[in-house]
Chains A and B, each alone.
Chain A
């Protein structure tokens, strides 16, 4: 706990409460009286302050700005106190709170020393310390050469590193999938590539130049994943660049997405998954970015000129950032967005078919996101109000039944209290200069009602509020009949399976359906059935309907060269209810089978790599992967 001592505010010190002292004493088997504990606590505080104050001089003389654990230990040493071992790591230790009670602790994982000692890949230290000189100012004027430019000034690569770099990049971007796997695996576990990190980051930043090539994009993303997972790499400030590359893949209307045959959706999903991975594993590094990313996602979402695939990216991005991000950004924005989406979905013209298909993707993504939001929010509420006050909120513990369809990307387990990672604090505090508008959390029932008004029974999450009490009637249908009426009742299947049998599939109606919502089923069923009717007819007959906000949404872009009936099936299962419920009505679009990969050969990009060092002979083809990827450093 000594780290908090270095608080900057004058005359304000961290205090150790007498309870803490008591706990500590108890843990060693000593019972302390209140006054003894109080006295001890005061003295401990004083000693801590004293040690902190004297440790600051070690910092000053080391000409640093940051007080380190080592400084503190030196201060302890010179005041004849034993040093505290085990806190020398460069990275900050995660400071967590336990769910129950106000208990905070530093996460201290066990380290298997045997494993560590016997590990073969001992991290080789950093590059050698060296001195480089440059003329900074000639006659007191001008910077002749920007000093300390990365990477040229920092590293001069050894031949081995250079070879490794070339081979890895070629393997990853090359044609041999097996080789790629080996390279990625090595990138993920090699302890000696710290010096190459800037180069790899630079290569990855090349995503912008290959936005037409899904395959390459995918490989670059895999490269990101390997780097992120490499335990020996300290990504430091490079993480920003990596995140921006990933964001590019999530959000940008990639050139590859012009062709509807390209499955850029998977790429976006993967990139979003990666983003969430980065946030949950490198939270300390990127916490500053969190807010920035939220803002950019929000911007994209609220920009109607952007193509639907960008919107899709924004939604999955938000989803990847956690349910709080969804609650904070997507949910408030939903009403505004809905109108546009609806317009797209209601346009049955042939020319709109593609856009409409995209729209359904967005719709599905939103649905997945809000369902998770509802589920997590309910969960957090139920945990908050475990003590019996749950009656107030209207959700008795355990009476929440929810069902979430798996979105294909499985975000890592989300702790309900995100405060530990410092991310949610950005979210909640808003912070100075926060462009996000004032935000007040919406209570769960209201949220559920609103979402229900949009999605109707497509919403797989259900809340029943106890026996006898009919489900709270959502105000949506009456207050906002337009939106509801026009809503197709759909559930999304985000599993992007390129080959689907295409046959209509009837899901068994959930038992809750029959019992609930009989009051509103009349109106709803009309609307839903008619919408389905329309959707069917649109996909078949191509009946044009008056474009509502067509101008803002991009028109379908059909490639004229397309031949043959589409074989790719895209299924959105609709669920209907009420009197004329006919079960789920599938709605499908078929596309031609995916042609062999795009015209650009995969290796084309490999040639565009930044050449560092000497340009060697033309690269030998990689017939086999016997080549050792380990560096003889």
Chain B
């Protein structure tokens, strides 16, 4: 109760603390920023008050309830006394009653409004921050060499709070509390005046500041509109929308459409987009100079309405230095909740590759064969050496080998590694002058709707997920698919024989393709295990299923998402897999655990695609909130937030060296990210429709992108990354300046014939395989 009882000013200060507390999961907040935000520079209390405040909120709510009751029964006197005792502002009790006071008051009562708003919004924030605190995943490195999963599963079992928060997040949290922040009001008629006043001001400032300050328009617009709607000023809200929605950046179009359909207070409950907007602060990056300009203006004009919103709903990340240009800002903005805070991308990421296990290669005789075949004995040697040396040297940026416990290699895995190395020696070195050949796998007669495709790493199998809930697996090689014999038959075979692996297969079942039935909704994501023994599929029915490719039966159904699961992928080392879905959470699983080991929560909208980093220590997720997040598998922390896409992200790809990430979205653009520095390093424009597939060539020289616009495009990845790596300044400030060189980087555009490209795959020899359903 302390914070509230301390009076209005205290409440104000406390608010700032709460903001920080809720941001703790991203790392340390800049205390400076907090102070800058608070109108009265006071001492920032310790974060410890968080707990007490959380407790206080409960009491205060009880108090409020009592007050309401008294008022209802017309016991105004006791209300007055009690209120004064508790130090509550007058209008905290009447969400609607302030209309008269707001209308009647000029600048003087504005202050009252402001504080009243603070107090009531505090309630919401306290609850919000407490949930956020619980959401913050378990921290601290787990150094034990023991099998990670045991520990992890233990963790998730002993942390019911985490799950609890999630179920709360999935259902509507305390909607009323969240929305109550809007109960503050001013004169609805003045909203337009305020907004256009600010607009005039921003249009009149110097060019260099204008672009930065213009960022304020969108979040301000949305919050003002929502306030109007919340307070039942429907016609004013509509007028406000009509008048100013045209000014907003075009990439907010989709959100604006959602917003425009919302004109009633009742609609606000249960609208997810709105809740997202409300629960998360919109993040802006503004230079100190620009910010001071804005602050001065608002204080001079006593434009409290706007100042309130800026303080409560916006997070302004202030930096020292040159204001950013319009293009710089545009490159980074577009996500649902503004840009990422700079702090969000400061954590160290071990993006290097793990050391390859040393396998003694029975190369001699094989080599001779290869040499005889190719007749290039010279070329062989150095290549093999380079492979060998590469695997021996430890990359300084690589995580320690056992940071994440990985399964030991089986004999068959080692054989496969040998096969891989042999193939790698025959790999074609790609480049701008040496583009890959493309093979297209057309799915014919796929009238039921092809929704997902995957190839095995060795390109021997192809699987398709379909909208009719089935998964179909085809053999791409002449080798047919066979099931293992039944248990009774297996007893009969000679287990000592050399070809026992051959004998266990039932020749009668050999066929070119197999159908896997089990899901009860469209299959949206599929992934082969690296050892080709398993297949994962995720479906609209809320489950992820694990299929055996030996028996072609379902082994496990992983339940947990409870909502459509949009994507799933095996770790490159097998055993682990990640899934993400409509519940906005990505989950890390291990195949032998039916419950998730990690839950990566933080996205504000559906997780649309998931990818493992090549070293299996990180997971990247793309979302319909138009951000990409990188999560640390070890501790579940979010270590990177990338903003810049203007539409839901549907494709992700790590470069083979683990340093870069490419992402494709419905906006038809491919963005390139430097994981180590947490920076956008490239933008590839060319596609005219959603990009559903991205893949780097085996050596990382070429990036292939496949899209709904029926094309495959090849990009010069080497050039794209080389050009920007030298720029240290941007690395320091985080302000990228992208040159528009898409046309130079585009190496080729390849049309299919009315076939959207939904999957791409480079074979081990760098032949590009593309897949899609032919739709006549």
Instruction: Identify the A interface with B (CB < 8 A).
Output: 10-11, 13, 42-43, 45-46, 49-50, 53, 57-58, 60-65, 70, 74, 78, 126-141, 143, 146-150, 153-154, 236-237
Contacts and interface: CB of A to CB of B under 8 A. Distances in A.
A60 B666 contact: yes
A128 B521 CA distance: 20
Contact of B776 (A11, A137, A143, A150): A150
B462 A136 contact: no
* Interchain residue pairs A-B with the least CB separation, the first 10: A140-B435, A49-B261, A137-B438, A136-B440, A148-B753, A148-B774, A127-B445, A147-B753, A136-B438, A138-B437
A130 B445 contact: yes
A128 B776 contact: no
Given A62-B449, A131-B441, A131-B474, A154 B263 contact: no
Contacts of A131: 441-444, 462, 464, 474, 476, 513, 771
A141 B524 CA distance: 33
Contacts of A46: 261-264, 267
Interface stretch (B252-260, B298-306, B394-402): B252-260
A147 B755 contact: yes
Contacts of B624: 57
Contact of A146 (B262, B264, B451, B753): B753
Interface string B261-285: 1111011000100000000000000
B438 A65 contact: no
A64 B442 contact: no
B748 A147 contact: no
Interface string B436-468: 111111111111111100000000001010110
Contacts of B262: 46
B776 A62 contact: no
A11 B758 contact: no
A153 B440 CA distance: 13
Given A11-B245, A136-B752, A43 B563 contact: no
Contact of B755 (A57, A64, A143, A148): A148
Nearest to B451: A62
A45 B450 CA distance: 32
Interface string B741-776: 000000110111111101000000000001100101
25 contacts: A45-B261, A46-B261, A50-B261, A50-B267, A57-B582, A57-B624, A60-B648, A61-B524, A61-B566, A62-B451, A63-B692, A74-B540, A130-B445, A131-B441, A131-B476, A132-B442, A133-B440, A133-B441, A133-B442, A134-B442, A140-B435, A140-B748, A147-B753, A147-B755, A149-B753
A146 B692 CA distance: 23
Contacts of A61: 451, 522, 524, 564, 566, 608
Given A131-B462, A137-B438, A140-B435, A58 B540 contact: yes
The interface centre, meaning the residue of A131, A134, A139, A141 with most chain B CB atoms within 10 A of its CB, is: A131
Contacts of B684: none
Interface in B560-586: 563-564, 566, 582
A124 to B, nearest CB: 13
A132 B443 CA distance: 7
B610 interface: no
A132 B257 contact: no
A78 B564 CA distance: 9
Contact of B261 (A13, A57, A134): A13
B115 interface: no
Contacts of A133: 439-442, 476
A381 B776 CA distance: 43
Given A11-B256, A62-B522, A135-B437, 17 more contacts: A43-B267, A46-B267, A57-B606, A58-B540, A62-B451, A63-B450, A63-B708, A127-B444, A129-B443, A131-B513, A137-B438, A137-B750, A138-B437, A139-B435, A140-B437, A143-B751, A147-B774
Contacts of B466: 129
A236 B775 CA distance: 12
B73 interface: no
Contacts of A43: 264, 266-267
Contacts of B476: 131, 133
Q: Of A10, A11, A46, A137, which is in contact with the most chain B CB atoms at under 10 Å from its CB?
A: A137
A130 B447 CA distance: 11
Contacts of A136: 438-440, 750, 752, 770
A61 B563 CA distance: 14
B622 to A, nearest CB: 12
Interface in B498-542: 513, 521-522, 524, 540
A5 to B, nearest CB: 10
B271 A50 contact: yes
B434 interface: yes
A159 to B, nearest CB: 18
Contacts of A129: 443-448, 464, 466, 472
Nearest to B748: A140
B438 A135 contact: yes
Contacts, number: 160
Given A50-B261, A129-B472, A130-B445, A63 B439 contact: no
A46 B259 CA distance: 11
A42 B263 contact: yes
Tell me which of A11, A134, A139, A237 has the highest count of chain B C-beta atoms within 10 A of its own C-beta. A11
Nearest to A156: B444
Contacts of B633: none
B287 interface: no
Contact of B444 (A60, A132, A146): A132
A11 B260 contact: yes
A136 B263 CA distance: 52
B601 interface: no
A214 B753 CA distance: 38
Given A43-B266, A78-B582, A140 B443 contact: no
B129 to A, nearest CB: 29
Contacts of B521: 74
B664 to A, nearest CB: 13
Nearest to B262: A46
B443 A130 contact: yes
Contacts of A154: 444-445, 774, 776
B714 interface: yes
A130 B443 CA distance: 6
B7 to A, nearest CB: 42
Nearest to B436: A140
Contacts of B564: 58, 61, 74, 78
A127 B446 CA distance: 9
B124 interface: no
B387 to A, nearest CB: 25
B756 A63 contact: yes
A134 B439 contact: yes
A132 B690 CA distance: 24
B701 to A, nearest CB: 13
Nearest to A53: B258
Contact of B708 (A45, A65, A126, A147): A65
B770 A148 contact: no
Contacts of A126: 445, 447
Given A58-B540, A136-B770, A153 B444 contact: yes
B418 to A, nearest CB: 27
A139 B258 contact: no
A148 B754 contact: yes
Contacts of A147: 440, 442, 752-753, 755, 774
Contacts of B437: 135, 137-140
Contacts of A64: 449
Contacts of B467: 62, 70
B650 interface: yes
Nearest to B462: A131
Contacts of B264: 42-43, 46
B74 to A, nearest CB: 30
A150 B755 CA distance: 14
A11 B690 CA distance: 22
A222 B435 CA distance: 53
Nearest to B432: A140
